[in-house]
Structure formats: structure tokens, C-alpha cells
Structure 1
Amino acid sequence: MSTTTAIQVLTCDNPSPMTLEGTNTYLLGRPDQAEVVVVDPGPDGHKEHLHAVLESVGDRSVAEILVTHRHGDHTGAAKALSARTGAPVRGFDPDQCVAGGQGIVLPLAEGEKILAGGLSIEVLHTPGHTGDSVCLWIPEENALLTGDTVLGRGTTMVDFPDGTLTEYLQTLERLMDYAQARMLPAHGPAHEQLGPVVQRYLEHRHSRLDRVRELVAEHGQDLSPEQLAELMYAGRSPIHPHITHQIAAAQLEHLRSLGEL
């Protein structure tokens, strides 16, 4: 399915509560250009998806393979795609970089502009979901690829302690600068405007923090993440308890950073 003639999306068949319908892989490049950039090539072990990506690339060369963050459902196929195309793999985390046939490859940097496929792709470091998360701004298309920072449905998790809620809230505020942009997430459907989605995220996070404050006031400041998660979710969440404990730990750490605990 194409989002525009310059941006194509292919969804991997890896659905789950965390990946929604699956991982969205994006191909960036105008059809009259001889090269394309691939973003988030998907998980390892999905040969059909890798074949679909290569088929969509066609006769074009792959200038770069970009990953929005370190999680395997985004990076797992990167080495295989690099081996097939010779393109370097680049992420904000140097550990995600693969030279391909290009020699030394530098990690992505805040504010960097990648000129490829007739487009300008600007890197925004947007930590919170993970410490290495990035979004990719394409001004010619008025489009922002949000990775897992903002999802097409539901809300994303803060992978604490690598990601922090403090950073995540700062990132969401920053993304309001792109409120009119089309939002292209790594999971779930696209949205014509980013702003309303980010506003809902902010309201949800602050509402949750207010609930944490109420529980801390009721049960004391020595609440552990496990205790807070039980009080917050009481076994009602379909998410694994390990993740709810991470969420609770991130909430408590954020309140500590504010001097409230």
C-alpha cells in the first residue's frame, strides 16, 4: 500500500499486542529517482516480508537502511537486507550500524539531513520509548515517521530504564512542533495530522501520573513498582506483568525527578 508516490509502506505479518497489525517498513524515494531509503526493515525470520521489500525496491539501489530504534521487530532483518543490497544500516545507537559495502558507517545524529531518493530526511532524536529512538521528518511530503514513539493505535510503552518517562514527555512536547504533519508510525495506521494524536498521548500520560500521585498519597511513598502496577492494573491489563512493572517504575522515577518523591 502506498502513502504517496514518494513514500511506500509494507506491513510485515508479525501481529501481536505490542506490534499491532505488524511492523511497518517504509521505502522513501521519488519514483523518478534511482535510489531509495528503507526504514525499519522488520524482524528476522520473515522471508516473505524481506522479499516484498526487495520486490518494491525493484531496479533502484538502496542508499541507506535506517532503523528508528534498537528493538528486534524493527532491526532483525537489517543485516539480511544489507547483505542483499550492499546498503549500510544506520541507527542512533552505534551498535545498530552495519557497514554493508560502504566502509565505516556513522550512527544517526540529531539534526542530520540525509539527501536521498529526491527527498530530504531529517533525523530527530526522540528518546523515551527507548534511549536511541528517532523520528524522521520529510518536509517535502509534510510527513513524520514516528517509529514507536507514537503509534497508529493505542499508546506506546516506555522501555525503562533505557527509556524514561521524563524524556518521553519532553519528546511529545517537541513533536507538537510538527502538529500539522502527516503521521506515519511503525505500527498501526497513518494519521493525517500528528498533533491530535500527540495531544491524546500527553493527556493520557498526565492522567496516569495523577492516578499514581493519588495512590502514593494513599499507600505511602515506599510503593514498589510491582505494588504500584498491581494497584494500577489489578490484573486487568493484557500486557505481561514485566511490562506493567516497567511502566510503574518509569512513573515513579519521573515523580522522583520532579522532587515529588
Structure 2
Amino acid sequence: MAVASAGGDAVSRFATLVRAPNPGPMTLDGTNSYVLRAPGSPGVVVVDPGPSDAAHLRRLADAGRVELVLLTHHHVDHSEALAEFAAMADAPARAIDPAFCIGADPLHDSERIEAAGLALHVIATPGHTADSACFVLPDDGEHGAVLTGDTVLGRGTTIIADPDGALGPYLHSLGRLRALSAVGAGDGVTVLPGHGPVLPDLAEICDAYLAHRTERLQQIRAALDRLGADASTGAVTDLVYTDTDASVRSAAEASVRAQLRYLRGTA
């Protein structure tokens, strides 16, 4: 049975989703903040407090005594309220990037964290950003669950935020996440994403993401064959991302830059 918290939706045995009121083209329905706790634990872990919205932060704080705040990556829709919420909850905050740590050391790859009656495992997953991390709850349900931040979204695909993000590391990160299903009880690892709905199968979504990246790289290669090897980011974006809305044009260009760097061997 999932454990519900005030103001949120229980989405797994250990996780409650509290969605921030910041919907938009890049944030989908809004930033997904998560409250984590083992059944019966008075303490909680909060992942990605999100934007500085008083009502949203109060819902997170009301869930229980906050033992730890974790950050999946530094983008403002996840981190804006980090310091504010850590002060409100009188709790330490940890992230891959030391600049976002408060009263605690930075996270490191393969670290095991024990808090709120839970054991979490940290996986460094650079690619979307250099400081992206995912958090594995191996005992959450039959096959476990993974909080993926923006490395894997609940709907659509994520951007490679060049120059901070890079495609090579991102493909490696997807491979590491995909391998979690093989290590555990098989397919069916729950995905708790940074935006969009919860997904039932990490392996399936990683396979889809890897296929999408392969297809995009083929499209970029075809565009370079047509436009010339030194074609600009804008020209390639115009040719490959023909159906992209103007509101996310900059994100499309960032992903194209990342793919061009990858193909040209500069990242």
C-alpha cells in the first residue's frame, strides 16, 4: 500500500507526488516534487522542492519532519526554492553540484543514503545537465522505483542542455538506467519522473529514448549531407525540427548543438 502525504498523490509504496503549480512548455504539467518515507516513519525525504511558491512549499513541509532534501539537478524549476525550503524545514540539502548543498556534503555516484526509514541509491546520470542524478528505491514495490529528474520524463523526451549537458554522457546514463531492470527482478521498475505522469516500466522507456536518440542522430547526419558538414545549428534545427513550437525553439537548438558536438567528436 502506498503512503499518502498531505496535499499529494501516493504514486508508489514509498513516494508521494506533490506537483508544483508551474506548468509550461518546458515543465509540462509542472515540476514533480516527491515526498519519500517508509511506512510508519515520522521523517521524510523531499526531492526537488521546485519553484518558490509558498503554498507548494507548505504542502511539502506539512508531510512530516524533513530529514533530508535532495536535488536531481540545478535547473531553476527544480532548485529555485531549495535554500528557502531547507531553511523552512531546518534540513540539510544535497546535490551533485556542491553549490547546491546546504549543511551537507555533495552526492557521489553509487552512494547509499539511509533516511526516513529508506535506503536510497544515488546514480550520477550526466547528460541532460552535467549534475543530473537519479535516486533508486530498490525496495519500493515488487521491482523497485527510480526518481529520474529530467533524465527521463513522464511524457515526451528531454533536452540535452548544451553546453552544460552532452549527448555522449546522456546515452551512457540511459544505458545505466536500462541495466537496473536486468539487475533486479526484471522489467517493471517504476519511473518517478521530474515532469509528467509516473511510468510503469523503466526498461521500456529507456529503450524508447535510446531509439529516439538513434533516429535523431540519423536525421542530423542526413541534414549535414544536405546542408554541408559545417552547417549552422540554426539551419540544422530548421530542417530537422520542423514541427517545433517557437516556445521551445531554444531547447531544440540546444539539443542540435549537443548532437553536432557528438557527431563532430567535440563532446
Please give the TM-score of this superposition, normalised by the length of structure 1.
0.92
Per the alignment, residue 155 of structure 1 pairs with 157
CA distance in 1, matches of 2:218, 2:94: 38
Q: Secondary structure at the match of 1:240?
A: helix
Per the alignment, residue 123 of structure 1 pairs with 122
1:229 aligned onto 2:237: yes
- Cα deviation for residue 5 of structure 1 reads 4.0
Per the alignment, residue 55 of structure 2 pairs with 48
Q: Secondary structure at the match of 1:140?
A: coil
- Cα deviation for residue 235 of structure 1 reads 6.4
CA distance in 2, matches of 1:14, 1:258: 35
- Cα deviation for residue 7 of structure 1 reads 1.4
1:23 aligned onto 2:31: yes
- Given that 2:44 and 2:63 are in contact with CA atoms closer than 8 Å, whether structure 1 keeps it comes out as no
- Cα deviation for residue 14 of structure 1 reads 0.7
1:72 aligned onto 2:80: no
CA distance in 1, matches of 2:194, 2:59: 17
- Cα deviation for residue 31 of structure 1 reads 3.2
CA distance in 1, matches of 2:150, 2:253: 19
Deviations 1:8-32 (A, max 9, x none): 1111111011111111111111131
Task: Among all aligned residue pairs of Structure 1 and Structure 2, give the percentage whose two residues are the same amino acid.
Answer: 40
Which of 257, 260, 263 aligns to 1:252? It is 260
CA distance in 2, matches of 1:6, 1:247: 34
1:33 aligned onto 2:37: no
Cα distance, 1:112–1:234 mapped onto 2, change above 3 Å: same
Per the alignment, residue 139 of structure 2 pairs with 140
1:83 aligned onto 2:82: no
Which of 184, 187, 194 aligns to 1:186? It is 194
CA distance in 1, matches of 2:220, 2:12: 42
Cα distance, 1:242–1:6 mapped onto 2, change above 3 Å: closer
Q: Secondary structure at the match of 1:153?
A: coil
CA distance in 2, matches of 1:121, 1:170: 21
- Given that 2:237 and 2:253 are in contact with CA atoms closer than 8 Å, whether structure 1 keeps it comes out as yes
Per the alignment, residue 110 of structure 2 pairs with 111
CA distance in 2, matches of 1:145, 1:136: 5
- Structure 1 runs not aligned, ≥5 long: 100-104
Per the alignment, residue 94 of structure 1 pairs with 98
